[in-house]
Structure 1
């Protein structure tokens, strides 16, 4: 069966092209926060333009100190970044409580144009659905770029919100996941009340 993206109007994450952002500051302040979740401790990172990373925190990251801004000129950017973090924390809590199926956040990951195309296609895979790398390749009109799609999927810096966990093998089996198949299965189980597999 052919996978088709449901393009009904719904608020979804908005991508900001952070590669083209021009700022007076040579480096935007980043806010790092570690939060607890049912799948482990998550590291959230944001700048003033949006969320840049959502990863599983490593042992080294768990020992990091909170971000500190000493330059008053950067304080406004820092506060904006902190607000993106707070919005993300709230919506993640709702997601894990089963009360949210669509994230409404601004995302600012760095990546190539191709990677951004793939990540946007991942966002368009609805809660409760899954598809394969070849499905994503077809969606972005690059049907022969299945391996490149797989690489972009693996390079996704914003787990859960850019739902690379919804990508499975064409046979219906789970494929690799940066944070392990156990976490991938847990996320799919969370969404299982509406989980449907469409195979191309």
Structure 2
């Protein structure tokens, strides 16, 4: 009986391991009319829309500045010029995302706010996730009625801002609920900042070229 139980446990472990989507390290080098030049796990290749890479990843969407690949049955978005590893461990494992530094020394990654796609600039100097009011309106964030109004100092001077709480923020496979954010009146900041209200709740590693963001226990 003990031998049988051991075999069953081993088979279940193998099944769960096989069901976990593999990590894909993808860099989008160029986007063409109906194809994209990608480096996948160190191998550069041109893939036409709806075709598959040599690893079996299907190119399903080509946008102006990003592509979407179907990897192990899941759609993942990769931005032009940024090398990203999006890994999904087993159900009990920690989720993580790796972001390569761009040529200007910045770390950009695509994520979501309340289920809607947002391009983030990782900024450890920002207290909150910070976005302009134009984007907040596009995302359907009711900051005027649900936010706490205040003033903040920016490069352009003192401006009006609202502190709000976002229901859900994701970066790759990393997901956090009820994250504090600031909505700044006007068009500043032009790039949504992924600040410490998110980053303080994850494990952050940076070797100078690659930033790893991982869920905490």
Same topology, TM > 0.5: no
Q: Structure with the greater relative contact order (CA < 8 A, sep ≥ 6): 1 or 2?
A: 1
Q: Give TM-score, length-normalised by structure 1.
A: 0.26
Tell me which protein shows more strand as a share of its residues.
Answer: 2
Tell me which protein shows more helix as a share of its residues.
Answer: 1
Larger Rg: 2
